[in-house]
Structure 1
């Protein structure tokens, strides 16, 4: 058996890797579309190939077209004929992680209540075991929300929203918002990174998204104090709530509703019909804010990542 990255000549066989389980996967339409856009690349698709050339396992990573490295494992497939699919998948992931120099997060999209559906639970179970053996041991469940042309929030009468061209001003705002945050990924990053470095990385990541940088807003109260950050944005799927947060000294006053309202209103004023957002299942205040604003929880994103301290 040979472990290697894909090449263009593999395309027909890649399209023949069919996942018939209740789980998100890189189906032919998605594979072709993302190969064309650059979000998938042949050198970021890893294969376990039998001696006769048949693909026994396939792992597909997603990233920004101009990114230095992929950002997420998007699909993990093992041929039904393989007896030890967990072992083969784990070895494939380990080979890829060694090549990338890091264990990259694995994202899976499932329906609400997936644990009560045996097929979905089974599809997750063997992949989770394989990913864990390959170093992805930190589990996170994120709630996916959508706003679909509901009532548009009125402008806040408590806050003033202003744009700012200087990224470093946003870096400082992100640093302040990160103090005491409930966001899993921010807390995970701060376990090994300097707060300013972490904030700067967050700003870079948000700039890499498809949203217009001119949409970004800083929120101030009537006395001129910074209250928070509101970033309408977009990804390949369309408009999203990119980022929002309240600085610690202004928490507890419901400003999250003003920030989310501003993001929703900015998108709605451009004629947007659907806005998508994610938040950690443990971030109850944010989940409740989405529900107050008319967002509906429509799915779950499961994320496996490496412990940054041990990675």
Structure 2
């Protein structure tokens, strides 16, 4: 889940900064004497919406390294690191992609993630806790799962979806602000929102619509998790993939070991209890993922 959190946070920050900067500079080509030019507004929002998403994608590896403290293995210093590099290399070869960078980050929870702007320039990292707790075949399954994300182009697809959603977030936020401004003008004899008011409504609307868009992104992410699980089962074996998910499930049921503030990072998200949590969860419940593997009810 960490790659999703970092991507969405960076994307939202870029969109808000762009909105603030453009408003302060008065760069609003979609405004004319008659009000909003819808075609110009849509083009404007598409350009900046896609820009925000692509910037998030291009810096995803850098952000992941800095936020997790992942140490990239250039030359293995022990048998575990050598095995990790060899395993990722083998899985990448099976997936038909260039071997990603491999890293270990200092967390005692069993976590892992993959990110990168394209298949042949990716990063796969695992936590120290995962290496310590899981059996080698289970670690291999987790790595295969992450390689599946890379091979399936999940980050690129996510960026394109987010770019489209950004377009509509910015588009409807400005329509809302314009409608509120017109309403106040009609009620206040031309008073309107004013510069600060209009700007504030746009930002608030972007945040609200951005949260709604995040629900769609989370749904897409949950759907892709099943495909990544299928990849893990294909390249590491169904039993190993089920075993890895089962071990993760056991950890999520130990609150002293896996506090809520930590289960939000990577593939360890357990079953959520509230509707809002389910809407924003980037991963399906582990029971569902295990059941899907056992039933082989989907295909990669």
The TM-score with structure 2 as length reference comes to: 0.30
The TM-score with structure 1 as length reference comes to: 0.30
**The structure with more radius of gyration:** 2
